[in-house]
Each structure stands twice: as structure tokens, then as C-alpha cells.
Amino acid sequence: MALFSTALGSALLLWCGIISTMMSSRNFALIPAAGVGARVGAQCPKQYVPLAGKLMLLHALDTFAESTAIAHTFVVVSADDGYVKDALVHSPHLSDRVTILYCGGATRRESVLNGLRAARDRIGDDDWVLVHDAARPGLTEAMIDHLIDTVRDDEVGGLLALPVVDTLKRADAGRRVEATVSRDHLWAAQTPQMFRYSLLCKALQSAENATDEASAVEAMGLNPKLVEGSPRNFKVTLPHDVALAELYLKAMP
Ligand code: CTP
Ligand code: MG
């Protein structure tokens, strides 16, 4: 009987511990915005290109700032960024919701890792971090809520992504079709990608060539959850993407 009540007591304590960790976990956003946007080829880094009435970075920033699910947003820009101050001058409503970190690195992975380290004192080990490209202005609050609702109880974390719809071809060196690749089970990764702070730091530290957070976590032998995103959350990458993003943002603000 005594043994039974001790076991029951320990199970209860463990359960309460798990519940309190889950309930006390906050959600933070971290936006890497330290790239140069070479492929778009604009006069300034693409995150500062005007799009449907405001600069590209401001679209994602406003969406996170308006979301009640997000405790605070960190934006990582390069150390010599000469645009972000002016970009925020007309957005006093963001001042207590957003912190700018001037610690961008040579790659997206480095920028994210530097940002996570710079925000160390403000984020708990078990808090969730939603990493989102500044170059995805089509993010909506509904997408953030859907990701958080689906992932908040997950042990690993997850990301927005879209099932691949096109028929895929593998090319040979002469740009001729070598093979048609099955698209079964293939998804195109988007952001936000949502992982707990300590796991994300550990994963990115050891995955030098990771191009997103999920692949760094995968390299640890873990399997992030895929959560269906939206075509309007595409990444502005090439010159014609600017007009496409503007169409989405004007048609469905
Ligand atoms: N990024 C970053 N630090 C880098 C490189 C990229 O913070 N050293 C950010 C970009 O600002 C962008 C996101 O990572 O928000 C996705 O990267 P990508 O679309 O490749 O942007 P760029 O690197 O700026 O574009 P490009 O590769 O065409 O130069
Ligand atoms: Mg790049």
C-alpha cells in the first residue's frame, strides 16, 4: 500500500511538472533579416523593398506583433544595417513588442544562432521560438495560430510546409531529364519553424550546413512535425516574386 501511494505520488508530481512546463512555455518569434537579397537584385536588401504600402519586413513584423500568442519578437539584422531604424520610425506601436539585434552572420544559420544567443537572457530553455524569414511577407495570424496549436504539445517541434504538387524531374549535367522523381510524401518547407529554445541552439550549433532549423533538428535524429502552410506564405526570392507578393497582399491583406 505504502509502495503504491509512493508510486502514485511520483507519477502525480511528474505529471504536474509536465503540465506546468507546458503551461509556462511562452512563444517567441525570431526573424532573420540580415541577408542582402542578391537574387532579387533590388537597390536595397529585399526585406526593405516596399510592398503593398509598407516595407517587406514590416508585414511579418506587424503580424507577429499583433498576435496575442507571441510574447515578443526579435529581428536579427547585420551589424552595419542602415535601414531598420528608418523602417521602424513610423511604427511606434512596435517599440515594446519588438527588439532589433544587430548580430547577423554570414549565413542564415549564423544569423539565427547569433540572435538566439543574444536573446538568451529573455527566453527560457523550454520556451518555443518561431523562426520566420523576413522574406515571407504573406504570413497571417491564422497560420501562426495553426502552427502553435498543432505543435505546442509535441516533443520535437514542427514547421509550416506545403505538399509538393508539381511533377518533379531530376536533371543530368546537360540539363536533360534523367528521371521523374515521385512526389509522394514530398513537402516544400516554409517558415515559421517552431522549436524549443535549448533544442534549437544545440541543433544549429552542430549543423554547420543547415539551411533551415528543421534540417538541423533532423540531423539530431529527430522528426519535426509538418503542418500545412499556404501558397501565400512563399519566399520572395527572384525579381518577379516582388509583384506576386504584392498581388497576394493587396487581394488578401
Ligand atoms: N538571412 C539572414 N542572414 C544571412 C542570410 C539570410 O538573416 N546571412 C535571412 C534573409 O534576410 C531572409 C532569410 O534569411 O529573411 C531567407 O534567406 P534568403 O531568402 O536566401 O535571403 P537572402 O540571403 O537575403 O537572399 P539571396 O540568397 O538571394 O542573397
Ligand atoms: Mg540567401
Sequential DSSP letters for 198-248: HHHHHHHHH-TT-SSHHHHHHTTT--PEEEE--GGG----SHHHHHHHHHH
Range list of β-strands (E), 19-84: 27-32, 50-51, 54-55, 72-77
CA-based max dimension of the chain: 76
Percent of the chain with pLDDT over 90: 89
Whether the per-residue pLDDT at 121 is higher than 80: the answer is: yes
Report the distance separating Cα 63 and Cα 236, nearest Å: 17
Q: Are 159 and 190 in contact (CB under 8 A)?
A: yes
115 lines ligand 1 (CB under 6 A): no
Q: Is the pTM value of this prediction over 0.95? A: no
pLDDT of res. 253 = 77
33 lines ligand 1 (CB under 6 A): yes
139 lines ligand 1 (CB under 6 A): no
Q: Pull the grid cell for residue 163.
A: 505538399
pLDDT of res. 24 = 77
pLDDT-derived band of residue 3, with 50, 70 and 90 as boundaries? low
Taking only the tens place, the pLDDT of each residue in 35-80 is 999 999 999 999 999 999 999 999 999 999 999 999 999 999 999 9
Q: Distance from the CA of 153 to the center of ligand 1, in angstroms? A: 30
